[in-house]
């Protein structure tokens, strides 16, 4: 068994959102990407004929070239025909996988992570991300290896230049007929990522005056001091230019942060609150239920209850949100981090679509962003990330567990506590909510100190 196969056998290949890691190291090295391509190609190839296709998109990381070529080699070795979209948002891959009748879609991106990371997200022919069961089967095939096809059945690869334009044209169809953005000045921050061309093009074509930041990728500056994880730059630009709205995307444009004309930043909870109540008023919110994760603010839950809308919580990750939406027949969900899922239009979180729908709400209501982006008063929430070495487990230390148990007891009457490991990077998320901010700070501080002591001890 090769070292690559041993690594795959001994570690979990797929995380909460596909495969992710540091570029040029397992599992985001070229040999593993080739093996993933071959396994995914074999999994989705239904017969021995060359009628199967896969679409591949990517963000702007330098390592995307390496991963794209390795995946293409693996896929064509199992007879898949590969259509290369170049830099496009993750939701565009989900959309085009379905519309182009592909058997598989792949997005090469580590989303909001730094440029030295990369990832692989897989979509089925329906445009939705793969189930855990499908990912496990592909991981087993990576471990065991797959037989290549005969030489005459090797697949082909070609570039598809119009993928971005197809996606932009689709987004326009989600708006009311004839709606234009004339008279609105919009700051768009594309995080130097996958939407660096699509986002400003879309807004300009709809008539907005566009102020761009984060639209000059160089292979290394994705998410660097910009985008939805660092929206302060866009907030400053909104204030500087007197813009009506700021839209911040992340590296693969599947999440969004909204900035109103006063420079205030609204997270996914506030955006979902607006969409949920307006959709409920229009009779289009299925349930009426909003699906979100355990991370969403307690204030959102209380606000929706006052509006007669139920909140259904899932584990962290937009895959879990989408799974719950599909199971229950619901059409709106997302995450506090800015993944907004509207299954009437898309198969995954789409930051650009969410920003566009927010603009449509501004136009139709005639209200400024500040009146729409602050729907409820959030309960004070504190989140601290504790980094740790891969392979260690400071969270399981008795002292850390005791601090968590004590914290849960102290917050039982006034809030809640959520401790979890990140599924995409070696960090422990320590999150708490309470209307008693002094108590919240003390509880979070004690837990973080205990985890750090276990990590460093």
Give 10-residue mean pLDDT values along the chain (457 residues).
45 87 97 98 78 95 98 96 98 97 97 97 95 94 94 95 96 95 98 98 98 98 97 98 98 98 97 98 97 95 97 92 97 97 97 98 98 96 93 93 96 90 87 95 96 93
Report yes or no: 244 and 369 within 8 Å, Cβ to Cβ.
yes
Q: What is the CATH number of domain 3-161?
A: 3.40.120.10
Query: DSSP code of 196?
Result: T
* Model pLDDT, residue 51: 75
User: What is the rounded CA–CA span in Å between residue 350 and residue 128?
Assistant: 13
* Model pLDDT, residue 413: 80
User: What is the rounded CA–CA span in Å between residue 455 and residue 457?
Assistant: 6
CA atoms in the 13 A half-sphere facing the CB of 227: 30
If we measure between CA atoms, which residue out of 22, 31, 27 comes closest to residue 9? 27
* Model pLDDT, residue 436: 94
Report yes or no: 102 and 54 within 8 Å, Cβ to Cβ.
yes
* Model pLDDT, residue 11: 60
* Model pLDDT, residue 50: 63
* Model pLDDT, residue 6: 46
User: What is the pTM for the complete model shown?
Assistant: 0.91
Q: Measure the CA angle with vertex 278, ends 272 and 282; round to 5°.
A: 140
Task: Render 21-72 in DSSP notation, one character per residue.
Answer: EETTSTTSSHHHHHHHHHHHHHHH--SSSS--EEEEEE-S-TTHHHHHHHHH
Output the CA–CA distances (angstroms, integers) from residue 15 to 142, 334, 370, in the order listed.
15, 19, 37
Query: DSSP code of 18?
Result: B
Residues 410/413/414/418 CA torsion (nearest 10 deg)? 60
Q: What is the CATH number of domain 166-372?
A: 3.40.120.10
What are the residue ranges spanned by the domains of the chain? 3-161, 166-372, 381-456
User: What is the rounded CA–CA span in Å between residue 265 and residue 258?
Assistant: 6
* Model pLDDT, residue 437: 94
Task: Determine which one of 111, 115, 337, 434 is catalytic.
Answer: 111
Convert the pLDDT of each residue in 123-172 to its tens digit.
999 999 999 899 999 999 999 999 999 999 999 999 999 999 999 999 99
Q: Is 3.30.300.130 the CATH number for 381-456? A: no
Spell out where 59-115 has E strands: 81-87, 104-108
Could you report how far apart the first and last alpha carbons of the chain are, in Å?
Answer: 36
User: What is the rounded CA–CA span in Å between residue 359 and residue 175?
Assistant: 10
Residue 150 CB neighbour total at 10 angstroms:
9
Phi, psi of 74 (to 5 degrees): -65, -45
Task: Render 359-381 in DSSP notation, one character per residue.
Answer: HHHHHHH---HHHHS--S-PPPE
User: What is the rounded CA–CA span in Å between residue 81 and residue 156?
Assistant: 5
Phi, psi of 342 (to 5 degrees): -120, 95
Residue 111 annotated in active site: yes
CA 226 to chain CA mean position, Å: 16
User: What is the rounded CA–CA span in Å between residue 205 and residue 139?
Assistant: 43
396 CB burial (10 A radius; 0-12, 13-18, 19+): exposed
Q: Measure the CA angle with vertex 215, ends 70 and 178; round to 5°.
A: 105
* Model pLDDT, residue 1: 37
Q: Measure the CA angle with vertex 300, ends 295 and 306; round to 5°.
A: 150
User: What is the rounded CA–CA span in Å between residue 454 and residue 36?
Assistant: 36
If we measure between CA atoms, which residue out of 201, 222, 221 comes closest to residue 212? 201
User: What is the rounded CA–CA span in Å between residue 158 and residue 180?
Assistant: 36
């Amino acid at each position: 068994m090769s070292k690559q196969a041993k690594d795959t056998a001994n570690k979990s290949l797929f995380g909460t959102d596909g495969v992710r890691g540091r570029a040029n190291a397992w599992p985001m090295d070229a040999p593993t990407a080739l093996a993933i391509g071959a396994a995914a190609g074999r999994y989705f190839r239904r017969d021995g004929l060359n009628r199967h296709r896969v679409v591949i998109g990517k963000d702007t990381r330098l390592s995307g070239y390496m991963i794209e070529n390795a995946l293409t080699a693996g896929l064509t070795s199992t007879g898949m025909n590969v259509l290369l979209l170049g830099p496009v948002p993750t939701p565009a891959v989900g959309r085009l996988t379905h519309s182009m009748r592909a058997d598989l879609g792949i997005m090469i991106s580590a989303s909001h992570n730094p440029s030295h990371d990369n990832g692989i997200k897989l979509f089925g022919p329906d445009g939705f991300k793969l189930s855990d069961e499908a990912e496990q089967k592909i991981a087993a095939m990576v471990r065991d290896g797959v037989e290549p096809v005969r030489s005459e059945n090797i697949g082909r690869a070609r570039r598809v230049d119009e993928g971005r334009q197809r996606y932009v044209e689709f987004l326009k169809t989600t708006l009311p007929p004839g709606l234009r953005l004339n008279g609105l000045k919009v700051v768009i921050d594309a995080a130097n990522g996958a939407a660096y061309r699509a986002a400003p093009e879309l807004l300009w074509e709809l008539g907005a005056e566009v102020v761009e930041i984060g639209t000059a990728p160089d292979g290394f500056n994705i998410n660097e001091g910009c985008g939805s994880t660092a929206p302060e730059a866009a907030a400053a630009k909104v204030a500087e230019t007197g813009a009506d709205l700021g839209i911040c995307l992340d590296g693969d444009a599947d999440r969004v942060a909204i900035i109103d004309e006063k420079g205030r930043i609204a997270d996914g909870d506030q955006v979902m609150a607006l969409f949920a109540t307006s959709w409920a008023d229009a009779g289009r919110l299925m349930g009426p239920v909003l699906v979100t994760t355990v991370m969403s603010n307690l204030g959102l839950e209380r606000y929706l209850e006052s509006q007669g809308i139920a909140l259904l919580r899932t584990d962290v990750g937009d895959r879990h949100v989408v799974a719950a939406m599909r199971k229950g027949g619901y059409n709106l969900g997302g995450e506090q981090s800015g993944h907004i899922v509207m299954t009437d239009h898309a198969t995954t979180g789409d930051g650009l679509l969410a920003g566009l729908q927010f603009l449509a709400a501004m136009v139709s209501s005639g209200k400024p962003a500040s009146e729409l982006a602050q729907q409820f008063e959030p309960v004070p929430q504190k989140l601290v990330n504790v980094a740790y070495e891969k392979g260690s487990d400071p969270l399981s230390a008795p002292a850390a567990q005791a601090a968590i148990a004590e914290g849960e007891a102290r917050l039982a009457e006034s809030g809640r506590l959520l401790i979890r490991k990140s599924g995409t990077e070696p960090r422990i998320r320590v999150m708490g909510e309470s209307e008693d901010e002094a108590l919240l700070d003390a509880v979070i501080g004690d837990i973080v100190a205990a985890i750090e002591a276990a990590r460093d001890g």
